[in-house]
């Protein structure tokens, strides 16, 4: 099959591209390279099974032209900063919801029937049920979550109207190879500037589930291979979770730092719209035979080691 991956030069997209090509399929990466990196995909340059289109999903004419002839669309390109919508209220609408509409309508015009979509655990807002199953009706607490939930609804409507099939994945925070943003990245960057003090948003007791990107990619492809409903919605997370202070302790130990002073912004959440506890019910994806191969602790250590070996990534973030 021929896969069209928006955001395919990013953290998760590039890992998925690797796996899809490894399985013998062809891949077109469509990426603006604003947050994606050529270095993540350059090992495919020159391969007859790989093509890179440097463009944004908001460029409708180029998107439509580039998508023609593909069998599967994997839509990753989006605003990845959950907090960004607090100060720029259009970014999630444009980069997440409108961008998804552009992808779907290009699919409609080219009669492409399969879409895999990266949604988010943020669509659940602050649920009262843990682990949180896919059938919880969420109340939105962030513009980011609302934009992803709106995109999910639009995908479902296109599936009904135009005979498409969708695989919608509600992610926890992914970690691992090519990780470029999130709490581990931010903590290491802070400690590079001041190795004696680490400022932590919230009270440090926020509990989060993290999933290694290799496990996440395998989960997505397992669902694509085995789930055959018109719309397939899966939580992708770990059966474990970890609080932020424990993560900070592991990070400081891996960096060889002792007696680091933790300071806290206070409150139960790191920012407006941040859920203090993220723990998804992953029994649905496990029922297809998938299991995470790495513990959260192993994934955190892998991520720290990767970032230490690829310090150049810190140059791209203020």
- Say whether 232 sits in a helix, a strand or coil: strand
191-210 pLDDT per residue, tens: 999 999 999 999 999 999 99
The C-alpha atoms of residue 122 and residue 275 are separated, in whole angstroms, by 8
The residues annotated as belonging to the active site are 144
C-alpha pair distances (Å), 169 with each of 202, 234, 262, 268, 285: 27, 5, 34, 27, 10
If 0-12 CB within 10 Å is exposed, 13-18 middle and 19+ buried, where does residue 285 land?
buried
* pLDDT of 318 above 90: no
The predicted model gives 226-241 an average pLDDT of 97
Q: Where are the beta strands (DSSP E) in the chain?
A: 2-6, 26-31, 50-54, 72-75, 114-120, 165-171, 173-175, 197-200, 207-208, 210-212, 231-236, 242-243, 261-264, 277-278
For 50, the 3-state DSSP assignment is strand
Topology given in CATH for the domain delimited by 2-174+210-236 = Rossmann fold (3.40.50)
Q: What are the structural domain ranges in the chain? A: 2-174+210-236, 176-208+240-278+295-316
Say what the pTM is.
0.96
The least confident of 82-91, 242-251, 282-291 is 82-91
Look over the chain and give the mean of its residue pLDDT values, rounded to a whole number. 96
pLDDT 10s digits, 202-233: 999 999 999 999 999 999 999 999 999 999 99
Please give the CATH number for the structural domain made up of 176-208+240-278+295-316: 3.90.25.10
What's the pLDDT score for residue 246? 98
Measured in residues, the chain has a length of: 318
Asked if 122 and 278 count as a contact pair (C-beta separation under 8 A), the reply is no
């Amino acid at each position: 099959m021929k896969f069209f991956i928006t955001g395919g030069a990013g953290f998760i997209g590039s890992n998925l591209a690797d796996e899809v090509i490894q399985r013998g399929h062809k891949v077109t990466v469509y990426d603006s390279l604003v947050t994606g990196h050529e270095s993540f995909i350059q090992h495919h340059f020159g391969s007859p099974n790989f093509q890179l289109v440097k463009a944004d999903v908001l460029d409708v004419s180029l998107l439509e032209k580039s998508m023609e002839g593909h069998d599967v669309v994997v839509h990753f390109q989006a605003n990845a900063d959950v907090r960004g919508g607090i100060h720029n209220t259009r970014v999630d609408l444009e980069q997440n919801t409108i961008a998804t509409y552009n992808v779907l309508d290009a699919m409609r015009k080219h009669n492409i029937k399969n879409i895999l979509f990266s949604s988010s655990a943020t669509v659940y807002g602050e649920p009262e049920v843990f682990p949180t199953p896919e059938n919880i009706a969420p109340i939105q607490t962030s513009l980011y979550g609302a934009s992803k939930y709106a995109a999910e609804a639009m995908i479902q409507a296109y599936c009904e109207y135009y005979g498409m099939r969708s695989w919608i994945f509600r992610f926890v925070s992914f970690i691992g190879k090519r990780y470029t943003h999130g709490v581990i990245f931010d903590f290491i960057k802070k400690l590079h500037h001041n190795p004696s003090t680490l400022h932590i948003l919230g009270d440090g007791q926020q509990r989060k589930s993290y999933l290694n990107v290799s496990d996440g990619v395998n989960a997505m492809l397992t669902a694509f291979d085995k789930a055959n409903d018109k719309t397939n919605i899966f939580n992708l997370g770990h059966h474990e979770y970890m609080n932020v202070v424990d993560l900070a302790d592991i990070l400081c130990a891996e960096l060889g730092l002792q007696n680091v002073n933790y300071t806290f912004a206070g409150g139960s959440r790191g920012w407006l719209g941040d859920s203090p506890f993220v723990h998804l019910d992953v029994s649905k994806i496990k029922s297809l035979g998938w299991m995470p191969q790495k513990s959260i602790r192993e994934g955190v250590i892998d991520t720290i080691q990767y970032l230490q070996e690829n310090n150049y990534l810190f140059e791209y973030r203020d």
